[in-house]
């Protein structure tokens, strides 16, 4: 994962108040992979839809992204995709050769094959601001997700005498770039902490729903199918 | 999101020669990694994920080896989906299988000249073990194209009786293959009574001309 503080930050007076020192500190923390912060909306604290009381476990009041524990959630959006895809062969089956002294072969697969795949290939995330927990894992398409594919080879193909055939499982990927939308800006005003963490410090945040920040790139999985390669 | 699929027991390996135990095509499944909150990320959308890369049915299935023609050999023939190769070329062909997978029928153009096919058949007859076969027999066939022969054999590993009918229609050479599962080899029918030969005769006039 790559973290970069160079991404665009939306304007606004609140954002402008943020000090570069604080940002640098957070970028450093992210790079070191420290324990995730915890943010929650303080219960019992009246807030306008655009002004909420949130609490970081370390009491900081830096800008944060919204996740499942906040009223509003940061989204990821795609901004650019490569025109071409590339193939990732996640499984190769045994090779069969049609004998040379028969007129034709018909090759049928009846195996079921489960292929595990990992989709975090080539991912990099550029985050200019602190994040909450593993928020960007959740937000970034296909980041660090695994899965499996089961393919049943009950299809046929004809082969010429002497040809080789090998079943494969293909995952097609496309290089994709995106950004995040929606950010909480701290107002600098303190508010009542959460009862579950009464000694912590809570701060009021304004939600900026359309503001874009950060960037991510990934080799996004766009297709998945079984097929075979033919060799002569 | 992570969805686990159990590895289903391999129900028979890839067939060695001719046809395997073809059953109804089963759909494949797979998991789609979620793209954040699903706003705009282009997750799998172009085609069903986890599917097979397939080809449309060959025209041979609609013009020559129709379902009706296949019914002469298989009571309830099921058209078999063709796989599309990822790399390389596979010959055209039309295949049917019985519902229980015990019998299969395929029509494909030969990749070699008729003379070469006949030579290969005699070579196999002399050395059937080279293709995992036994009881290979080559018989001439009359009244089918310009030249024709029938090749019968028993494939040991797949436990199949296989009948090839190869004929030169004048412009092309064709192969009609019928395979049926059997525990032991048996004496093939006489050429005049062979239903595979009869099917070949019934479709030869409908085959496309030219290479």
Chain A / chain B CB contacts < 8 angstroms = 275
| A66–chain B Cβ distance below 8 A for any pair | no
Site of tokens 């499942």: A68
The whole-angstrom distance between A32's CA and the closest CA on chain B is 24
Task: Mark which residues 29-48 of A lie under 8 Å from B by CB.
Answer: none
Question: What residues in B contact A73, CB-CB < 8 Å?
Answer: 37
What fold is seen in the domain B62-206? Protein Transport Mog1p; Chain A (3.40.1000)
Tell whether the model's pLDDT for residue B22 goes beyond 90: no
CB atoms within 10 A of CB A59: 14
Classify the phi-psi angles of B100: left when phi > 0, otherwise alpha if psi is within -120 to 50, otherwise beta: alpha
User: How confident is the model at residue A92, as a pLDDT?
Assistant: 83
Q: Closest chain B residue to A220 measured between Cα atoms?
A: B43
Q: Closest chain B residue to A111 measured between Cα atoms?
A: B10
Residue A21 lies in a domain: yes
* Residue with the larger pLDDT of the pair A199 and B167: B167
Q: With CA atoms as reference, report the closest residue to B83 among A148, A149, A159.
A: A159
Residue A131 lies in a domain: yes
Q: Nearest CB to A222: which of B46, B91, B104?
A: B46
**From CA B157, how far away is CA B131, in angstroms rounded?**
10
Residue A5 lies in a domain: no
Are residues A64 and A135 in contact, defined by beta-carbon separation less than 8 angstroms? Answer: no
| Coil, strand or helix at B67 | helix
Residue A130 lies in a domain: yes
**Beta carbons of A98 and B86 less than 8 Å apart:** no
Question: What residues in B contact A101, CB-CB < 8 Å?
Answer: 120-121, 123-124, 127, 130-131
**Sequence-separated (6 or more) residues with CB below 8 Å from residue B72:** B195, B198, B199, B202
Tokens representing B164 are 């090839």
User: How confident is the model at residue B39, as a pLDDT?
Assistant: 25
Kindly report each contact of residues B112-120 with a partner whose C-beta sits within 8 Å and lies 24 or more positions away, as own/partner: B112/A103, B112/A161, B112/B173, B113/B173, B114/B147, B114/B166, B114/B167, B114/B168, B114/B173, B117/A103, B117/B149, B117/B166, B117/B173, B117/B175, B118/B147, B118/B149, B118/B166, B120/A100, B120/A101, B120/A102, B120/A103, B120/A161
Tell whether the model's pLDDT for residue B28 goes beyond 50: no
| A107–chain B Cβ distance below 8 A for any pair | yes
Burial call A146-180: b when 16+ CB within 10 Å, e when fewer? ebbbbbbbbbbbbbbbbbebbbbbbbbbbbbbbbb
The whole-angstrom distance between A190's CA and the closest CA on chain B is 30
User: How confident is the model at residue A125, as a pLDDT?
Assistant: 63
* Residue B5 burial by Cβ neighbours in a 10 Å radius (0-12, 13-18, 19+): buried
Question: What residues in A contact B54, CB-CB < 8 Å?
Answer: 155
Q: The dihedral of CA A4, A9, A13, A14: what is its sign?
A: negative
Are residues B43 and A220 in contact, defined by beta-carbon separation less than 8 angstroms? Answer: yes
Highest mean pLDDT among A127-131, B17-21, B51-55, B166-170: B166-170
User: How confident is the model at residue A150, as a pLDDT?
Assistant: 62
**From CA B34, how far away is CA B3, in angstroms rounded?**
11
| A68–chain B Cβ distance below 8 A for any pair | no
**From CA A68, how far away is CA A41, in angstroms rounded?**
10
| A231–chain B Cβ distance below 8 A for any pair | yes
Residue A162 lies in a domain: yes
How many folded domains does chain A comprise? Answer: 1
Which helix (H) or strand (E) segment holds residue A24: the answer is helix A20-32
Which pLDDT band holds residue B158 (cuts at 50, 70, 90)?
Answer: confident
Helix boundaries (H) for chain B = 60-63, 67-70, 114-126, 195-203
**Beta carbons of B17 and A153 less than 8 Å apart:** no
* Residue B56 burial by Cβ neighbours in a 10 Å radius (0-12, 13-18, 19+): exposed
The whole-angstrom distance between A151's CA and the closest CA on chain B is 5
User: How confident is the model at residue B182, as a pLDDT?
Assistant: 86
**Beta carbons of B39 and A161 less than 8 Å apart:** no
User: How confident is the model at residue A8, as a pLDDT?
Assistant: 29
Residue A2 lies in a domain: no
* Residue with the larger pLDDT of the pair B208 and A59: B208
Q: Closest chain A residue to B128 measured between Cα atoms?
A: A101
Give the pLDDT confidence of A131-166 residue by residue, as tens digits: 555 566 666 665 545 566 665 545 677 889 999 988
Are residues A138 and A85 in contact, defined by beta-carbon separation less than 8 angstroms? Answer: no
Residue A3 lies in a domain: no
| Positions of chain A with pLDDT lower than 50, given as ranges | 1-48, 120-121, 144, 153
Q: Which domain holds residue A39?
A: 13-231
User: How confident is the model at residue A55, as a pLDDT?
Assistant: 79
Question: What residues in B contact A77, CB-CB < 8 Å?
Answer: 39-41
Question: What residues in A contact B52, CB-CB < 8 Å?
Answer: 151, 155, 225-227
The whole-angstrom distance between A199's CA and the closest CA on chain B is 33
The whole-angstrom distance between B193's CA and the closest CA on chain A is 22
Q: Tell how far CA B86 is from the center of its chain.
A: 19
Q: With CA atoms as reference, report the closest residue to B19 among B87, B85, B69, B94.
A: B94
Tokens representing B208 are 């496309």
Q: With CA atoms as reference, report the closest residue to A64 among A201, A183, A204.
A: A183
Question: What is the pTM (predicted TM-score) of this model?
Answer: 0.63
Tokens representing B180 are 């049926």
Altogether, the residues listed in chain A come to a count of 232
Tokens representing B9 are 């027991």
**From CA B124, how far away is CA B112, in angstroms rounded?**
15
| A110–chain B Cβ distance below 8 A for any pair | yes
**Beta carbons of A149 and B42 less than 8 Å apart:** no
Domain positions in chain B are 62-206
**From CA A77, how far away is CA A104, in angstroms rounded?**
51
| A75–chain B Cβ distance below 8 A for any pair | yes
Q: What is the ipTM of this complex?
A: 0.71
Q: Nearest CB to A229: which of B44, B54, B85?
A: B85
| A227–chain B Cβ distance below 8 A for any pair | yes
- DSSP annotation of B70 reads H
- DSSP annotation of A192 reads P
User: How confident is the model at residue B60, as a pLDDT?
Assistant: 95
């Amino acid at each position: 994962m790559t973290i970069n503080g160079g991404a665009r930050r939306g304007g606004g007076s609140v954002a402008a108040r943020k000090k570069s020192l604080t940002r640098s500190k957070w970028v450093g923390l992210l790079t070191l992979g420290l324990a995730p912060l915890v943010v929650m909306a303080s219960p019992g604290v009246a807030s306008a839809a655009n002004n909420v009381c949130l609490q970081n476990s370390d009491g900081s009041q830096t800008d944060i992204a919204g996740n499942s524990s906040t009223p509003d959630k940061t989204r990821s959006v795609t901004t650019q995709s490569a025109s071409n895809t590339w193939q990732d062969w996640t499984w190769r089956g045994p090779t069969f050769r049609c004998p040379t002294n028969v007129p034709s072969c018909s090759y049928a697969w009846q195996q079921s094959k489960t292929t595990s795949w990992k989709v975090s290939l080539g991912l990099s995330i550029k985050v200019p601001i602190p994040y909450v927990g593993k928020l960007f894992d959740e937000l970034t398409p296909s980041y660090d997700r695994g899965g499996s594919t089961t393919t049943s080879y009950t299809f046929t193909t004809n082969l010429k005498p002497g040809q080789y055939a090998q079943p494969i499982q293909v995952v097609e990927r496309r290089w994709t770039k995106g950004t995040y939308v929606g950010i909480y800006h701290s107002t600098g005003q303190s508010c009542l902490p959460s009862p579950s963490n009464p000694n912590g410090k809570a701060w009021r945040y304004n939600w900026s729903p359309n503001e874009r920040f950060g960037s991510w790139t990934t080799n996004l999985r766009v297709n998945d199918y079984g097929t075979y390669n033919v060799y002569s | 999101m992570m969805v686990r699929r159990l590895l289903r027991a391999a129900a028979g390996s890839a067939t060695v020669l001719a046809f395997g135990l073809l059953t109804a095509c089963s759909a494949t499944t797979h998991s789609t990694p979620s793209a954040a909150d699903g706003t705009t990320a282009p997750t799998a959308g172009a085609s069903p994920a986890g599917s097979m890369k397939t080809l449309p049915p060959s025209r041979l299935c609609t013009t020559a080896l129709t379902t009706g023609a296949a019914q002469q050999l298989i009571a309830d023939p099921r058209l078999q989906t063709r796989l599309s190769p990822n790399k390389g070329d596979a010959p055209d062909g039309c295949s049917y299988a019985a519902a229980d997978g015990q019998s299969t029928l395929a029509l494909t153009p030969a990749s070699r000249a008729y003379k070469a096919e006949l030579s290969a058949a005699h070579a196999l007859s002399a050395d059937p073990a080279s293709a995992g076969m036994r009881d290979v027999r080559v018989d001439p066939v009359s009244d089918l194209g310009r030249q024709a022969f029938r090749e019968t054999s028993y494939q040991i590993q797949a436990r199949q009786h296989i009948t090839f009918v190869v004929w030169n229609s004048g412009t092309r050479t064709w192969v009609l293959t019928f395979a049926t599962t059997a525990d032991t080899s048996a004496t093939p029918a006489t050429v005049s009574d062979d239903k595979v030969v009869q099917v070949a005769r019934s479709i030869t006039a409908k085959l496309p001309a030219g290479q």
